[in-house]
Amino acid sequence: MSWEPDVSLAIDEFRLSSLDIIAGNVKDEAFSVIPYFERLDLMEDIDSPFLQGSLEFSILKGEMQSIGTSLTMQDFLLIEVSSIDGLNNTSTSSQLDEPRSIGGLFYITDIIKKNSTNSKVDSYRLHFASTEVLNEYSKKISKSYKNKTREEIIRTITDDFLIKDSKYDVKGYVRKGIFEPTSESFQCIIPRWSPVKSINWLKNGCVSTEDNDSKAFYFFQKYEDDLSRSFNFQSLNTMFKRNPSLGFSDQALTGYAITPISSDLNEVARRTFARRTPLKCVVRDVSVLDKLSKGTFSSKLLSHDITRKKFTEKTFRYNNKHVANEKLNVGLVLEENQVQPEFAEKFLYSSDCYVSVNSDHKNLFRKTETNLGVNRTEEWMQDLLSQRNIKDFITMDVTVYGDTNRNVGETVMFTSAGMYDTFDDERSKMTMDEDGQDMAGKYLITKLVHTFTKEDKNGSLGGKNVTTMTLVKDGWQST
């Protein structure tokens, strides 16, 4: 039987199947927190190697102790939750899709007892992370690696020191997701470092085999189907190039959009449009000078040659099919840039734009990696810094009705509510920004938080189940 949306349920409802506290030494006995639950947050972030979250609940004093249960830093949390429906692409448009359950087994990392106005109630906030975090704190790597690429070494470390011996529930499992191949073999000795510290060191020096311009790599976890989760190792450039999981490239109104809804639509169509319309959209600082001071503007890097005393601008090998930039690799002296009058005097001579190379960066590459960085460390550093800064170039936080089908590392189409006057006479009218003249285009999800609340007392969340996504765009839409 095919799945059908239940339109009798409110669009902000959710299904909470499991929310159990499990004692670290007694896995078969669990205490269900569902009757006491107030708020649950589940977070994915490409800057974090582990999934994280928080749980708030209140319970009558002594109730947990009466059944022989107490909260300790050795306990685990079993979660299974989902939205009531999600969005998916079809061949022509977006439609409602069956939501997936996310969660799994987590390790409680912090317990905070909150102040309560009711003297008969204990209120708690628990912070938790995926159980692989235990291996990060309990395992050290003292091992040599040779005749492998950096990606292969990172893959091996993930298998041997993060996934192996990890605690997980019978409903889900931990696996490797996408690991992007890197160039040239490498050899090293890891001197009793933790797994994540070793991976962070190794990824500083990676160059993708798929694209020599890809140098900014991220190691992160994300939710998979059936309460599973995966480790992923991908470059920012490759993630940007991926086809949108929601919406279609070059069609701004097919993804998330401020779209008028006809009163003649049936309930399923209304719900589909509502899920595509953001409840809240907050655009972060888009100050040009602020971005330039970080050394980046629309896939470009501004750097200063201390010896030659010249500021140069370098544009990387992105193209308009994937991100909004038509120019290919070019270099020019910014003192000759006439785009903005007195640009150099106003900004460049302020000493706010520079690239530093310290001793750690000089030892990133071995002699066998000559083509990558042994003789080109400064160029590699400039590429890396520029791509990392692009992740914070045009950034917005978009809150939508809860959708547990979304993941970090995927792209979606988005258009803001740009309205334009199409004529200068009595025919003048306001229309949607279908051409993407404002901030429309393809965005990368770099962080998302699924929030589930028992009730929304002040209306700030826009509902009982919302998803807040941090979307990043590489540059302004070309017109």
Structure tokens at 407: 């993941």
Predicted local distance difference test score (pLDDT) of residue 390: 77
pLDDT at 328 over 90: no
pLDDT digit string (tens) for 71-91? 887 889 999 999 999 999 887
**pTM of the predicted protein model:** 0.83
Provide the 8-state DSSP code for 476.
P
* Architecture of the domain spanning 14-133: Beta Barrel (2.40)
pLDDT at 275 over 50: yes
Q: How far is CA 406 from CA 194, 237, 331, 467, in A?
A: 30, 20, 38, 9
Cβ proximity of 443 and 471 under 8 Å = yes
pLDDT digit string (tens) for 2-55? 888 888 888 999 999 999 988 765 555 788 899 889 999 999 999 999 999 999
pLDDT digit string (tens) for 126-175? 999 999 999 998 999 999 998 899 999 999 999 999 998 887 655 668 88
Q: Identify which has the larger pLDDT, 306 or 12.
A: 12
Residue 213 corresponds to which amino acid? Answer: D
Which secondary-structure segment (H or E) carries 190? Answer: strand 185-193
Predicted local distance difference test score (pLDDT) of residue 65: 74
For the chain, which residues make up each domain, given as ranges? Answer: 14-133, 135-237, 242-286+392-473, 288-390
Among residues 274, 248, 242, the alpha carbon closest in space to that of 259 is found at: 274
Cβ proximity of 75 and 86 under 8 Å = no
Burial 266-285 (b: 16+ CB within 10 A, else e): eeeeebbbebbbbbebeeee
* Architecture of the domain spanning 135-237: 3-Layer(bab) Sandwich (3.55)
pLDDT digit string (tens) for 437-450? 667 788 999 999 99
The mean predicted confidence, pLDDT, of the chain is: 79
pLDDT digit string (tens) for 206-237? 889 988 778 899 999 999 998 899 999 999 98
Kind of pairing, strands 310-315 and 331-333? antiparallel
Which secondary-structure segment (H or E) carries 312? Answer: strand 310-315
